[in-house]
Every structure is written in structure tokens, then in C-alpha cells.
């Protein structure tokens, strides 16, 4: 089965072609970073309009790269939520129209399920059951994955997501958009121990997160500092360490509570070098394994949508002709899938 995947939930237009026999055939990605940089964040209307401009040419280019034509497509998968409603509608309407014209099934994909399943595109995919840390600009969640499509929420952020906290913290120190990667880069020059911030909620037995208070600590430290380059690097390092330690502590606790020995990490923050190092070290100490997608599949992309869509289409799921998107969508409420990957 060959599936065309379309991702347009926020500020990146992603397209990919997945073949159940040959794997990922081709993918294309267009980032709107330059478009939104002048505003310091994503402007939803501008994001939607840019998806309109970029999506069809990107589909054509991805098809050309794969050596296929539209006639070779057996199904279409598109992100239907969560995300910006205007941006979602561009991808959903385009995907549904292509499927209708080709008389092939179309399936709506949950954006975070796409992230969760992205590590399964690697050569040695983890098998359920496992714990998944979904950590991005809009989400920070711990899920128990009993089988593909069978998700139980273990804990989530009560306010800012980890990626959002990275971006907002970077912005308050004057770093350019997108702030998260800029802050991680600045942290490389930081001096360990120059600043220390709390690890929020780690003394509570639950698996929820909160990062808003950590932002406040950073703001106060920045205002009291000399606001020079070294101050920025030191504060950035202390902030990164606090967030990563908090995530890692909760992941260890989740593995224990869920009685699992495998951890899957997905989402944009999963590309953070320090997070990868800490989780690998902690999992190794407890005899567990940790699985990440390749760096290019951490951020929003069409490959994860094409793959998740393939699994849903293979299970016989598809959508009616009407286009429907869900800006808010509970991952735990999705219908189950077969655990086999064949």
C-alpha cells in the first residue's frame, strides 16, 4: 500500500510517500520560520495562507522525488488535529480532494499519534507495551502504549508544554524566533552551577508537569543579572537542565508505574541533545531501552502522518467525503490498531 501523507497543523508544510513494502519513499518539508520570525511567533492566518501556497508544489515535488504519480497512490492521510484550525483545513481539504479524485480512501490522523509512531519508522522499531513521552511546543504528555492505538494517559502538563516553555524563556531573554533551538545552542556555553532552578513537581507522586513557575524563576534571574552573553548562556543551561531533569525523573517514574522496560520519545523537544543523553543514561541504569526518531522526524513532518495513516487504513479505517478537523483531540480516545507492523 502506498500512502500520501500531508501535515499542516501549524507552521510547517510536510508531505511524504510511504510504501508498506519499501518504507519511506520520499518526503518534503517547507518551514515558515522566516515568515513568522518578524512577529516573534506563529501568526495563524499567515500560516494558513502559506500552506495554501506551498502544499500543491510540495506534493508534486515529493511525487517526482519518489518516481511515482498520483495514479500510484492507494490512500491519503492528513493531519486533522490537534492544531491551528485554518492550517489544518488546508491540508485536510487538499488531502480529501485528492482522495476523492483518485477514488481511494482517506484517513484523518491525530498529529500526536504521528509523533508517537515516528520511532517505528526506524530499523529496529520498539514493540508495545512501552511508555511514550510526547514532548513538543504544544504538548507534554506521558502515555502508556499497550498496543498500537491503545493509549492511556499517565500524566501531562498543567500549563505550558516543555517546548513552549523553551520558546517563551528564550523570547524573554531576547533570543530570536524560534527560541527553543536558540536557547539550547546558548546553553552549550553555559557554566554548570552558575544558576540553579527548581525541578517542578518532582516531589509529587503523580506524573503531571508544570513549567510556568520555572519561567518566572528565569525571568527574575535574568532581570537581576548583567544580561550579558555569559549570563544568557548560564541561565539557558540552568533552565535546560531543570526541564530535562524534570522530564527524565517523570519518565523513570512512568516506566516503574506502567511496568515497562521501553521508553519512546517523540516530538520536537526530542531532538534536544541533553534530553537524549540524560534519558539514555537513566534508562541504561535501570536496564530499560529508549527509542528516538531520527532528528528529521522529531519536528512536524509528512512521514509520520503517512505512516500513521497507513496503519489506520490497513485497519480498515477511513473518512467520509466531508472534511472535518479537530483543533483539540484526545489521543487516548482513538480506536485501537493491530500491534503487527507487517
272 known ligand binder: yes
180 known ligand binder: yes
Please answer whether residues 179 and 168 qualify as being in contact, where contact means their C-beta atoms are separated by less than 8 angstroms.
yes
301 known ligand binder: no
CA distance 252 to 151: 18
Per-residue burial over 152-189, b if 16 or more Cβ lie within 10 Å, else e, is eebbbbeebbbbbbbbbbbbebebebbbbbbbbebbee
pLDDT at position 101, please?
97
pLDDT at position 341, please?
43
Per-residue burial over 211-239, b if 16 or more Cβ lie within 10 Å, else e, is beebbebbeebbeebeeeeebbbbbbbbb
318 known ligand binder: no
Query: In the predicted model, what is the mean pLDDT of residues 275-281?
Result: 96
Query: In the predicted model, what is the mean pLDDT of residues 114-143?
Result: 94
pLDDT confidence of 339, banded at 50, 70, 90? very low
167 known ligand binder: yes
115 known ligand binder: yes
Q: Is residue 306 over pLDDT 90?
A: yes
66 known ligand binder: no
110 known ligand binder: no
- What average pLDDT is seen over the chain? 95
300 known ligand binder: yes
Q: Is residue 340 over pLDDT 80?
A: no
Please answer whether residues 200 and 214 qualify as being in contact, where contact means their C-beta atoms are separated by less than 8 angstroms.
yes
228 known ligand binder: no
**Which neighbouring-strand residues pair with 109?**
79
Cell numbers 482517506 label which residue? 106
Amino acid at each position: 500500500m502506498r500512502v500520501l501523507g500531508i501535515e499542516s497543523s501549524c507552521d510547517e508544510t510536510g508531505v511524504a510517500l510511504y510504501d508498506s513494502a519499501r518504507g519511506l519513499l520520499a518526503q518534503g518539508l517547507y518551514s515558515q520560520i522566516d515568515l513568522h520570525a518578524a512577529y516573534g511567533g506563529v501568526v495563524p492566518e499567515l500560516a494558513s495562507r502559506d500552506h495554501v501556497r506551498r502544499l500543491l508544489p510540495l506534493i508534486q515535488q515529493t511525487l517526482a522525488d519518489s518516481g511515482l504519480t498520483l495514479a500510484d497512490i492507494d490512500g491519503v492521510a492528513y493531519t486533522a488535529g490537534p492544531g491551528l484550525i485554518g492550517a489544518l483545513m488546508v491540508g485536510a481539504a487538499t488531502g480529501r480532494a485528492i482522495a476523492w479524485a483518485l477514488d481511494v480512501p482517506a484517513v484523518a490522523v491525530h498529529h500526536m499519534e504521528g509523533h508517537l509512531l515516528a520511532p517505528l519508522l526506524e530499523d529496529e522499531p520498539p514493540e508495545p507495551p512501552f511508555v511514550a513521552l510526547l514532548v513538543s511546543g504544544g504538548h507534554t504528555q506521558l502515555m502508556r502504549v499497550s498496543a498500537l492505538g491503545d493509549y492511556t494517559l499517565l500524566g501531562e502538563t498543567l500549563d505550558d508544554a516543555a517546548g513552549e516553555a523553551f520558546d517563551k524563556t528564550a523570547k524573554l531573554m531576547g533570543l530570536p524566533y524560534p527560541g527553543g533551538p536558540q536557547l539550547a545552542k546558548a546553553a552549550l556555553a553555559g557554566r554548570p552551577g552558575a544558576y540553579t532552578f527548581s525541578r517542578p513537581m518532582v516531589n509529587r507522586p503523580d506524573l503531571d508537569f508544570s513549567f510556568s513557575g520555572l519561567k518566572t524563576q528565569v525571568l527574575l534571574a535574568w532581570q537581576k543579572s548583567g544580561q550579558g552573553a555569559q549570563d544568557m548562556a548560564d541561565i539557558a543551561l540552568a533552565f535546560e537542565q531543570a526541564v530535562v531533569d524534570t522530564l527524565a525523573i517523570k519518565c523513570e517514574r512512568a516506566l516503574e508505574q506502567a511496568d515497562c522496560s521501553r521508553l519512546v520519545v517523540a516530538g520536537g523537544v526530542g531532538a534536544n541533545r541533553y534530553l537524549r543523553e540524560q534519558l539514555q543514561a537513566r534508562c541504561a541504569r535501570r536496564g530499560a531501552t529508549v527509542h528516538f526518531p531520527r532528528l528529521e522526524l522529531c519536528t512536524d513532518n509528512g512521514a509520520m502522518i503517512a505512516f500513521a495513516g497507513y496503519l489506520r487504513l490497513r485497519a480498515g479505517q477511513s473518512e467520509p467525503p466531508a472534511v472535518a478537523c479537530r483543533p483539540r483531540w484526545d489521543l487516548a480516545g482513538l480506536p485501537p490498531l493491530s500491534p503487527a507492523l507487517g
